[in-house]
Structure 1
Amino acid sequence: MRTAALLLPLALAAGFTSAPLLAAPATTAPAAATKSQLHLQTFHPGPQAMFSVSSVLIEGRHDAILVDAQFGASDARKLVELIRASGKQLTTIYISHGDPDYYFGLATLQDAFPQARIVATAQTVAHIQQTQAGKLAYWGPKMGADVPARIVVPQVLDGDALQLEGQRLPLIGLDGPTPDRTVLWVPSLRAIVGGIPVVAGEHVWMADTQTPKSHSDWLQTLQRLQALKPKVVVPGHYAPGAALDASALRFTADYIRAFDAETAKAKDSAALVKAMQARYPKLAGVASLELSAKVAKGEMQWP
């Protein structure tokens, strides 16, 4: 069911490189480490995973922060191996959104790194608390051996930023129109990490945003992120091989506008799916498009 993880080290000075599947732990170019004293490693569970959710290890010289914990226990164990191979002390696990693919792997990570604090925004913690039982009841039987040993609910983050070796990593969006949909900003790398507002290389999940205002707010958030002029963008969800840069912001904004335009014209969900596939014939995640289309055309309720 699962494929081997993709390890994608991100070195800004040297550009993107990609290690082959199951390669030895990746290293970041010395120039990038010297310039910023931080670097990133991105874990992706591969194209056959149930959810194409990313996890990012932000590394300093001695310590590290993990952003997001994966969905299945087997992928969380691969993530544990990546963290251990880094040789860094994991101080913090930050959960960037309240859907289960972001946090179901926490039990595996907590067992491996009991010293690491596990935090999320108040909005994310509330979302997890309100939905965890239903999510586990729905997904648990489908996960088999990957089901979490227990649900771990993060502590509420005190403040609006993480700290790593003296560098402040702020959350972007807490003071905006959708404080439940934020990303992490790494200023020294000009990197956007995690969250649900940005997608790359696959159909954008639209079922959770069902009103014109929600789409307007979303576009406002993306505009704010574009104003940061990021060099690296690691979305919470992306298809393997997608460019991890500012093009993801433009893609997501364009997709939202296209979805709205085609929804207004389509007579039903089948017509909407056909129109969006005509616009984006190569995107992964068709099942996401199909469900989003049914919700948009009033053919099903979500959640």
Structure 2
Amino acid sequence: IALPEVASTINKQMFGKIDHWIKIIGPTNVPRKAVNIEAMEDNFFELEGTRIEIMPKIMGDLRYNTVVWVPSIKLLYGSDVLFNESHPFTCEITADERKQWLKDVEMLEKLGAEIVIPGHQKPGMPFDSSCFTYMKKYLAATEEELANTSTTGEFFLNMALRFQGSNLIFLSNEMNAAVFKGGRDWEWRDDEN
């Protein structure tokens, strides 16, 4: 199940994304056929008596993401909005959208979740609020390095040095550097309409 607009985006983008990712993670790690996504009528559902809330249109590494909040146990699943010790894609959205991403991270932090599951994190990191601090620092650093670097290599190196030990360095950080400073085409906007 998914919210109607999310179901539509998944159905439009699924195989384009698979074609890209199969080259990176291999053919055994991606779905082989489309899944029928049913549109939800409300922004919540109940599972065994527990209310699970779906928070739509939260800015993250792609416009937009869906976050899951389970208020009864104060659990937040951050999808591609929250990362922890893991370089996020920041290159698929505009500067204004990155500002909104920061605001949305701050809004999610105010929920007071006790268990926070980022969409991506370095193995061994706790499922706690440390991802909020990481994301706020990373988004600020992205803007600083965009302003202070002029080449792909400079951007890549500076972000790698600022976030030493973070994973996805040769995936997300490389992609960010290539798109921001190297002119690499990476445009998924056509699939959103």
Normalised by the size of structure 1, how large is the TM-score?
0.56
- The corresponding residue for 2:118 is 235
**Alpha-carbon contact 1:128-1:153 (below 8 Å) kept:** no
How has the CA–CA distance of structure 1 residues 267 and 140 changed in structure 2, closer, same or farther, with 3 Å as cutoff? closer
Query: Structure 2 residue aligned with 1:206, among 68, 90, 93?
Result: 90
- The corresponding residue for 1:150 is 33
- The corresponding residue for 1:124 is 6
Query: Structure 2 residue aligned with 1:300, among 178, 184, 193?
Result: 184
1:191 aligns with 2:75: yes
Q: Per-residue deviation at 1:135?
A: 2.5
**Alpha-carbon contact 2:85-2:163 (below 8 Å) kept:** no
Q: Per-residue deviation at 1:121?
A: 1.8
Q: Per-residue deviation at 1:255?
A: 0.3
Q: Per-residue deviation at 1:252?
A: 0.9
Partners of 2:145 and 2:100 in 1: how far apart?
19
RMSD of aligned Cα (Å): 2.1
Q: Per-residue deviation at 1:127?
A: 1.6
How has the CA–CA distance of structure 1 residues 149 and 298 changed in structure 2, closer, same or farther, with 3 Å as cutoff? closer
Stretches of 4+ moved more than 3 A in 1? 136-142, 144-147, 176-179
Q: Per-residue deviation at 1:238?
A: 1.4
For structure 2, which runs of at least 5 residues remain unmatched after alignment? Answer: 188-193
Higher relative helix content: 2
Higher relative strand content: 1
Query: Structure 2 residue aligned with 1:137, among 19, 22, 33?
Result: 19
Partners of 1:144 and 1:275 in 2: how far apart?
33
Fraction of identical pairs, as percent: 25
**Alpha-carbon contact 2:105-2:136 (below 8 Å) kept:** yes
- The corresponding residue for 2:167 is 284
SS at the partner of 1:184?
Answer: strand
Q: Per-residue deviation at 1:140?
A: 4.5
For structure 1, which runs of at least 5 residues remain unmatched after alignment? Answer: 1-118
Partners of 2:156 and 2:99 in 1: how far apart?
22
Amino acid of the structure 1 residue aligned with 2:69: W
Partners of 2:97 and 2:123 in 1: how far apart?
28
- The corresponding residue for 2:102 is 219
Amino acid of the structure 2 residue aligned with 1:213: D
Larger radius of gyration: 1
| Count of residue pairs the alignment pairs up | 183
How has the CA–CA distance of structure 1 residues 273 and 228 changed in structure 2, closer, same or farther, with 3 Å as cutoff? same
